[in-house]
Structure 1
């Protein structure tokens, strides 16, 4: 079921990332997307769920193969019991199945692709799974979810569950839940796959949340070979976004003002949006001002609440070790030992996240407006 409220992007939007993901989907593989805050995660997930985009990139879908990519938002999980509760694990697992079953229901409703009998069976199964007050149903949640999936599997439908803010699911749901997802995938190898979107790589999150690595490995190994680091928009996507903002807000800016905006924000979606709205507060942006006061303009932008909030989103998505390294590189004399393996790992991860770049003998923080934000933090702490 398509959502007319979602703004559609051009087929070229995030073409590199989308092309790779859909190539893996064609092979029935799962993918792990990693991107810091402000990269435009929601737009990418909505684009991946667009049926016209799927048909454009996947010939078998264009040829009529039934396919559905379903976004799972953990903020839609219902209230969960305390982990100290006797039935906590069963009920928490049920909450995960209930959310996935509900999104499955919404994705295929009104079930035009099902026979009347199959539609009735699916609806009855869906209704049964909804009753989490019955302890037996909580334990049987997996069976109802499996039965609901089977109705679409027998038609040859391929389903991808895309987990937005997957960190929250790792924190809220028991390991057993993820192991059952692995079991469902193994029972339907080319018909079910998963996509996770997180702000840090899965191994880093598992360590952070003190999850047993070996216990959850059967699930996480699904993603080991297909990790995509999602960075800022490319030049074309960023300009398209700015032109859309100009049109919707009935504004007009000279080309050099837009060039400054793209440079300052590093083409990060969230920073583009908030900085665009703050451009008017910078005064007259003539060519001379942009050329001679660009550094000062960065700090003026960072002082704006919305822009600073977006910078904080990036900052909070980093680990303590990553923040420490970024702060070191914001100074004139970073105290970094490049020979330490741990330092090399953190540096490589920040490069993959496109927040650190090497220019000759220098390491710079990108985007420029984030560098100004980090320097402002250092100034306030000194």
Structure 2
């Protein structure tokens, strides 16, 4: 399937923030709920044209953002020791490094051969030291490009999976590598909750993870729904692929009903394209119609499943499904939900409301079942 192309100013506030961290080799935690359009953002960040637009031609030439999806970690048995689990992380990082720079045009022939030898060595299962030496092979391969002046940022996608499958020692070594090459090496994590909350919820050894997690303490970016311009662009692009013309009122109702969340907006456009819906002028009417479709309910469930227990309790309380009690957990959850654009505070009326309208319906319907 062809990747949809976005204008250079797509998600401009988020992209400008993230790439300003990349340009200074500052690590950054990116947090966003399901259906927020994370895949589109990552694809946009990886575009050479986008890097050149924000960083300039020369800086972008020496910058590599390398996407590392934790779902691509090598499969290991349940009883695998920590050294082998660390190896699976280094192997994936080196493989993605290999793919990002292949065919190694920036290196001379000797360095390119040594890089390739390191890549082969880390995958040599006959070597009894392949697991404990994985870090050395990875650092060696990385050093060839750092010595050439490159700035490397690893985009650690599906970071929940990384925390689940990799030991604390792996993240400690990533911190060590960053400290050694702090002007050229950084990390971006993509997750559905802030990193300390993830570690606590998974009951991990937060003290052991602290050296790595503290890299992100002052640099957290919450990715919310599209701004109005991006939502209109996406809707226009999707509508252009279809055969039905949508009225401006219908488009506006769709944007408001979905809260400009990318997944909901895309699914909603598909519902309208089916031709089974007449003109709809209000967000509430649009939400009621959209929610009848399975694709919309699945997107709402994706958002719901990415929330922690405290956030779910708060949402159900705001929906008046559960009683609400004020404590530190619920106050923290309210703050997180506001950041994620799932709660809106009416300070004048001193009330909370659930956003977007179609997700509000999901909570009410789910609670009634």
| TM-score scaled by length of structure 2 | 0.95
Detail structure 1 runs of 4+ shifted over 6 Å in the superposition: none
Question: Which residues in structure 2 correspond to 1:278-293 (within 5 Å)?
Answer: 278-280=271-273, 283-286=276-279, 289-291=280-282
Give me the whole-angstrom Cα distance separating, in 1, the residues matched to 2:188 and 2:44.
Answer: 14
8 Å CA contact 1:56, 1:62 repeated in 2 = no
Does 1:147 find its partner at 2:140?
Answer: yes
**Equivalent position to 2:284, from 283, 295, 300:** 295
**Equivalent position to 1:322, from 292, 297, 311:** 311
Does 1:71 find its partner at 2:67?
Answer: yes
**Equivalent position to 1:109, from 88, 91, 102:** 102
Change in 2 beyond 3 A, CA 1:43/1:132: farther
Give me the whole-angstrom Cα distance separating, in 2, the residues matched to 1:121 and 1:284.
Answer: 61
**Equivalent position to 1:188, from 177, 181, 195:** 181
Change in 2 beyond 3 A, CA 1:133/1:285: farther
In structure 1, the residue matched to 2:325 is: 337
**Equivalent position to 2:339, from 332, 352, 367:** 352
Q: Which moved more, 1:62-71 or 1:72-81?
A: 62-71
Change in 2 beyond 3 A, CA 1:245/1:258: same
Deviation for aligned residue 1:285: 2.8
8 Å CA contact 1:32, 1:228 repeated in 2 = yes
Give me the whole-angstrom Cα distance separating, in 2, the residues matched to 1:74 and 1:97.
Answer: 12
- Structure 1 alignment gaps of length 5 or more: none
Change in 2 beyond 3 A, CA 1:296/1:251: closer
Does 1:90 find its partner at 2:86?
Answer: no
CA deviations over 1:337-371 (Å, ceiling 9, x no partner): 34x22221111111111100013423110111100
Deviation for aligned residue 1:283: 4.0
| TM-score scaled by length of structure 1 | 0.92
Deviation for aligned residue 1:177: 0.6
Secondary structure at 2:106 match in 1: coil
Q: Alpha carbon RMSD of aligned pairs, Å? A: 1.8
Give me the whole-angstrom Cα distance separating, in 2, the residues matched to 1:250 and 1:75.
Answer: 37
Q: Which moved more, 1:161-170 or 1:73-82?
A: 73-82
- Structure 2 alignment gaps of length 5 or more: none
Deviation for aligned residue 1:81: 2.2
Secondary structure at 1:308 match in 2: helix
Give me the whole-angstrom Cα distance separating, in 2, the residues matched to 1:38 and 1:337.
Answer: 29
